[in-house]
Structures are given as structure tokens and as C-alpha cells.
Amino acid sequence: MGKEITDRIVDSFIKLAEIDGISYGERKVADHLVKIWKELDVTLDEDSAGEKIGGDTGNLYGFIPGTGKLKDAEPILFCAHMDTVSPGIGKKIIVHEDGTITSDRTTVLGADDRAALTVIYEGYRQVLEEGEDHAPIELLFTPAEETYTVGASAFDYSGIKAKKAIVPDCSGSFGAYASGEPSLVYFEITVNGKSAHAGFEPENGINAIAASASAISRIKQGWVNDHTSLNFGTIEGGTVSNAVSAKVVIKGEIRSAIHEDAVAAYENVVKVFEEEASAIGATAEFFYDIRLKAYRTNESETGSTLEIYNRALEKLGEKSFPKKSFGGSDNNVLMRNGIDGLCIYNAMHEIHTVNEYTTVEELVKTTQLIKNIMTG
């Protein structure tokens, strides 16, 4: 790929990466995307998800009819998210002499997922300029993915035509794809005891901290088994050192590659806390939210999205390989809505840190990959 195209891809990435757009505040990112896609005669429509999720931006959706011999081919959906994690305000992008692209190390770079937004745009731009036939293309750019796919979950999929989707949101090496992503159960536990003076009449109190500690000590944390993890992340309770604690609030999460095991682990948490609270006369209240539901990638070669990915990679002399993921992406939502999605490699490394980086070479190569998928 020539220097002019390479420079253009890098410039597109920098312009996108520099825009502030942490979760629930993606307005400027969406406006930029609407503008640049309009320059390619593609209209992006925005839904009302922003209002539903408490953000300033909805999902952007666009449809591009197929052309030439691929006019009636099966449509394919390209999905990427507009938000970044914090610290993500005031990003300053640096292109180093060796081709590495970073922030100034005071913020994230935002290659997660601005690199994906870039290569989808530049891939289609090249298809247009070279006059290649392409399959019908659907575009879905989502807000608030980093907060457990909230934006994608609020989208109405009844109008989606594609049965297959490409989601560039997998870190690692070129050719990687997520072999599956987990269920994630977020939970909050409130243990209610009874306050009393700790020095004069402790026997008249019911210590919520004691009940919570007893329960936590009975529950295995970290890896519950080889595919399920459990974590108590925060605990808040008590008021002063000379009063028996009347209330404790505990927050945590469970992740599992098998959805039923995530649910079973949560049910065990509830059982143990109820037993320990009841044992000393306290009570326990529970709240949970299934923020991700596990899926396994369809790795059947024939007719799968993975087959499309493999064909596109072969044109570049590359091969795909599976990668275990314990994160989660918009692909969890697509799969839940009956779309055979594939979370593929995106040009991003050390994501969610101020050391995040991408490279010029990877952005260019991934643009070519996306172009191959569109025209394959």
C-alpha cells in the first residue's frame, strides 16, 4: 500500500482518537462519524438509545447496498464501539519514528475501539475508490460498550438484515479471534444488622460486618473452577469504631464461560449470605444484573463468519487462531440476538492503560483485511 494511502489511514485514526468520547459522552465521536461517512454517500441514522441509557449519544446504523456481482450476496454487519475508558479526555496522539502510535501517556490512546472505526471506514473508502464489487454492508457503531455493552443492548435488531457480523475488538496478534466470551453477573449484597454501643451493650447489637465476614470466608474467590471466576470488589459498612455495624454493602462480579455456572455461583453466594445473616439475626438483600451472556464462537468452517475471516486472511498470507477471552464485547449482544458474530483482531495493545498503543503497519494491514471481507 502506497505512502499516500498509509498517511491517510493514520490521519483518519488520529482524528478519531483525539476526539473525547468516554462512555456516555460520545456525542463528538458520533458527529464526526456521521460527517465522514456522509462524504462517502453513506447515511448513519441515530436511534434513541442515548436517552434510554442516560448518555448523550445513541447507536449509529447505516446500510450500504451491494454492487456488481455481489449485489445480491449475503449482507455482513460491521460493528465497533465509539466510547473509550478513562482517562480519556484531552488525548494527545504521538506517531513515533518506529511507527508506533501512543498517547502522551497521561491518557489512554483509544485504539480500543477507534482503530476499528478507522479501518472499517478506510476499508470501505478503498473499495469505493478501486471500484470493487462488494456485498451489502451494514454498519453499527455503539455507545457505552465499555460499561458492559449497554449501548448495543439498547439497539433494536429487528431491522438488521445480516446474519453474520464482524466485530474488531480482540487484542493480541494479527489473525486472532475470540473463541468465546463469558457471562458476567454483577451483584450487590446489603446485610442489615442492628446498631448498639460497642462498649456498653455490644450484646444488644447485630454486627453486619461479622455476618459478612463469615459469609465471605466460606466462598471461594478468584478461580472457582477452570472457567469461572468470582470477586468481591468493594465492601462498605459501619459508621464509627464504638458502634456495632448495622449495615454493610458488598459489590462484586462473577464471570464464567458457561452461563449456567455463572448463575449457579451467584445462587451459592445468596445461599451462604442468607445462612450467615440468619445465624446471628441479621438479614440480607440482594441485587444482580446479568451484564453479559456467554457464547462460543461458531468454528464450523462451512458457512460461518469464521470462514469469511479465514478467506480474507488467506489473501494476505495469514491464518486465524482462537484466543480465549474473559472480557466481553458487543459480540455478546449480537450473538444473543441470533447473529453469527466474530470478535476479530483489532490493532490495539495494552488496552485500558496509559501505555496503550497501535502501529502504522497494523492499521494498514487491518484496513486491507476489512476490505477483503467486504469484497470477498
Indicate the SS3 state at residue 97.
coil
d(CA 12, CA 115): 9
DSSP 8-class letter at 376: -
Is residue 83 flagged as an active site residue?
yes
Is residue 7 flagged as an active site residue?
no
Which has the closest alpha carbon to 66: 128, 137, 136? 136
Catalytic residue of the set 145, 181, 330, 362: 145
Which has the closest alpha carbon to 192: 283, 256, 125, 276? 283
AA identity, residue 257: A
Three-point CA angle 132, 176, 311, nearest 5°: 35
| Residues 375 and 134 sit within 8 Å (Cβ to Cβ) | yes
Nine cell digits for residue 293: 451472556
d(CA 343, CA 332): 9
AA identity, residue 62: G
DSSP 8-class letter at 218: H
Active site residues: 83, 145
